[in-house]
């Protein structure tokens, strides 16, 4: 008994030590060596805390050296799952640099090295879901969350089940399904309040506030933001506070929102850099800083990390359309709305192809891993889930097609306005000029005493004006003909 108490006390003291922020490479190295001296699972838990501090939460200038120190010390250790830890570090490092495909590659290798019965398997699966969410592989991310949910229900781990529903809500938010996100968060809240020891995680209130931001519900956003900001125990996370503050300011159309977003962009703890930059571009546009908005959007679009992120590119193209519309450059505005429309169509095709195939492939995998005792019941549940997912994809397809049609209509209106402007210009500056010349010459001829002599004198000028008038009329006809062909 004394030995157990002694071990527990030492573990608590060491965990407290490791919760302090890392300051230098040597300090990190010493802490790794100390952690590896402990028996399993204490060593693994301490190492996880170190990885979080050194990679996910460290300043950008330190993460490369921190990664090398972690990999070096782990490779020299006798840790049973050192390969899995090494791959996890590589994955988190790549994710931090927004090298998302590379991050996914490494986290899958870490999963391959980890037995499914280990708690670490669920942690890695959660990281995979985060990466797939960032990659816009929403179907894959949902599948990972459903596997985690089944496991947590089997072991009756309510606390982590609450977190899992909260993460599912984050996925819904990034899929623009805000009402579904709120439903998932309500489920998480009900579970949290019925625990033996009630605890509502910060992220639950944060995601509710974010969902209401997208729904433009200022009162609800402020309500859940206040639950975090006004509670001393919760308000220590400055990243969350800045995010909720800038969202509230944006809804109020308060220019101070720009400063709050910029603070968050420079915060290494911000895990949603892409969305923060997107909100900054939107904010620049709201406050008529159009050139800054365009510059940021072009920077994001030129990034290799965004070339496969169709939904993000669609939003950025539409934002560029809005920016050029504000600048009254209707031609460029129309071009970027068209690009947004084309990207939306590609997103729909991609969702129909990858989503349905993934459902069929994953069904057997979920069945083999998690259906044992209640096979028949679980099969029916999975078919129901598959039906719901297919129905959801069909609904989303109609939504995307509807949006595409709206954007095309806007594009056609802009092109019509441009054509109308051009025809009006030709009519007012060219047709009327040449017609006035002809009428003037005819008037002079009529008033002349010798009409034959006057006609001979003005014949060339009359012919030139008539020929130019004919060219102008043909130009108008050609433009109308091109418009008619483009509409068919």
pLDDT at 290 over 70: yes
Which stretch of 239-248, 275-284, 338-347 has the lowest confidence by average pLDDT?
A: 338-347
pLDDT at 331 over 80: yes
Using alpha carbons only, what angle is made at residue 33 by residues 74 and 268, rounded to the nearest 5 degrees? 70
Alpha carbon distance 432, 454 (integer Å): 23
What are the structure tokens assigned to 240, written together? 């969350």
What's the residue count for the chain? 488
Residue 208, Cβ neighbours under 10 Å: how many?
25
Helix, strand, or coil (residue 363): helix
Give the global pTM: 0.64
Q: What is the pLDDT of residue 359?
A: 45
What's the Cα-to-Cα distance from 273 to each of 149, 163, 248, 265, rounded to whole Å? 27, 21, 19, 7
Residue 409, Cβ neighbours under 10 Å: how many?
12
What mean pLDDT comes out for the span 332-356? 70
Residues 6+ apart with CB under 8 A from 360: none
Q: How far is CA 272 from the centre of its chain?
A: 8
- Give the 3-state secondary structure of 412-479: HHHHHHHHHHHHHHHHHHHHHHHHHHHHHHHHHHHHCCCHHHHHHHHHHHHHHHHHHHHHHHHHHHHH
Higher-pLDDT residue of 180 and 4 is 180
pLDDT at 345 over 50: yes
Nearest residue to 67 (alpha-carbon basis) of 38, 88, 44, 36:
88
| 107 in Cβ contact with 91 (< 8 Å) | yes
| 104 in Cβ contact with 132 (< 8 Å) | yes
| 256 in Cβ contact with 249 (< 8 Å) | yes
Alpha carbon distance 402, 173 (integer Å): 20
| 359 in Cβ contact with 139 (< 8 Å) | yes
194-204 pLDDT, tens per residue? 876 667 778 88
Band (pLDDT 50/70/90 cuts) for residue 362 is: very low
Band (pLDDT 50/70/90 cuts) for residue 68 is: very high
Q: What is the pLDDT of residue 306?
A: 66
Residue 135, Cβ neighbours under 10 Å: how many?
17
231-264 pLDDT, tens per residue? 655 555 678 888 888 899 999 999 998 998 888 8
Higher-pLDDT residue of 443 and 348 is 443
| 76 in Cβ contact with 115 (< 8 Å) | no
Band (pLDDT 50/70/90 cuts) for residue 4 is: very low
Band (pLDDT 50/70/90 cuts) for residue 106 is: very high
- 80-84 long-range contacts, CB within 8 A, separation 24+: 80/40, 81/44, 81/113, 81/114, 81/118, 81/120, 83/110, 83/113, 84/110, 84/113, 84/114, 84/120, 84/124
Alpha carbon distance 85, 70 (integer Å): 9
Which stretch of 238-242, 286-290, 352-356 has the lowest confidence by average pLDDT?
A: 352-356
What mean pLDDT comes out for the span 108-115? 91
Residue with tokens 């990679």: 55
Which stretch of 93-107, 310-324, 339-353, 431-445 has the lowest confidence by average pLDDT?
A: 339-353
Nearest residue to 142 (alpha-carbon basis) of 397, 402, 399, 393:
393
Q: What is the pLDDT of residue 111?
A: 92
Question: Among 262-271, 349-358, 422-431, which range has the highest average pLDDT?
Answer: 262-271
């Amino acid at each position: 008994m004394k030995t157990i108490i002694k071990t527990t006390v030492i573990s608590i003291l060491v965990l407290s030590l490791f919760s302090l922020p890392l300051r230098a490479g040597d300090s990190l190295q010493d802490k790794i060596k100390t952690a590896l001296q402990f028996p399993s699972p204490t060593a693994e838990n301490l190492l996880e805390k170190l990885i979080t501090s050194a990679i996910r939460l460290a300043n950008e200038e330190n993460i490369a050296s921190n990664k090398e120190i972690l990999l070096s010390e782990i490779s020299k250790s006798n840790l049973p799952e050192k390969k899995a830890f090494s791959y996890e570090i590589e994955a988190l490092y790549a994710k931090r640099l927004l090298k998302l495909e590379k991050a996914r590659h490494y986290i899958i290798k870490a999963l391959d090295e980890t037995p499914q019965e280990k708690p670490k398997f669920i942690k890695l699966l959660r990281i995979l879901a985060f990466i797939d969410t960032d990659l816009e592989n929403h179907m894959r991310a949902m599948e990972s969350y459903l596997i985690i949910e089944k496991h947590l229900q089997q072991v009756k781990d309510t606390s982590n089940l609450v977190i899992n529903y909260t993460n599912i809500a984050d996925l819904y938010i990034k899929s623009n399904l805000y009402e579904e996100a709120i439903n998932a968060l309500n489920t998480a809240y009900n579970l949290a309040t019925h625990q033996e020891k009630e605890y509502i995680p910060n992220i639950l209130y944060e995601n509710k506030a974010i969902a209401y931001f997208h729904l433009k519900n200022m009162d609800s956003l402020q309500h859940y933001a206040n639950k975090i900001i006004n509670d001393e125990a919760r308000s220590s996370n400055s990243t969350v506070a800045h995010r909720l503050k800038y969202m509230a300011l944006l809804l109020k159309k308060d220019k101070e929102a720009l400063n709050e977003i910029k603070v968050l962009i420079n915060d290494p703890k911000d895990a949603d850099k892409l969305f923060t930059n997107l909100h900054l571009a939107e904010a620049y546009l709201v406050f008529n800083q159009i050139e800054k908005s365009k510059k940021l959007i072009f920077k994001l679009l030129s990034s290799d990390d965004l070339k496969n992120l169709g939904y993000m590119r669609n939003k950025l193209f539409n934002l560029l359309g809005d920016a050029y519309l504000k600048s009254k450059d209707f031609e460029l505005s129309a071009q970027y709305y068209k690009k947004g429309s084309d990207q939306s169509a590609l997103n729909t095709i991609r969702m129909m192809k990858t989503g349905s195939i993934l459902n069929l492939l994953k069904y057997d995998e979920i069945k083999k891993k998690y259906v044992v005792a209640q096979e028949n019941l679980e099969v029916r549940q999975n078919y129901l889930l598959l039906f719901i997912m297919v129905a959801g994809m069909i609904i989303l397809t109609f939504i995307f097609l509807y949006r595409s049609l709206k954007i095309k209509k806007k594009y056609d209106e802009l092109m019509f306005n441009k054509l109308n402007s051009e025809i009006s210009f030709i009519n007012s500056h060219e047709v009327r000029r040449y017609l006035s010349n002809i009428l003037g010459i005819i008037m002079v001829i009529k008033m002349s005493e010798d009409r034959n002599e006057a006609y001979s004198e003005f014949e060339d000028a009359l012919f030139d004006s008539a020929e130019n008038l004919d060219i102008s009329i043909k130009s108008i006809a050609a433009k109308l003909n091109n418009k008619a062909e483009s509409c068919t």
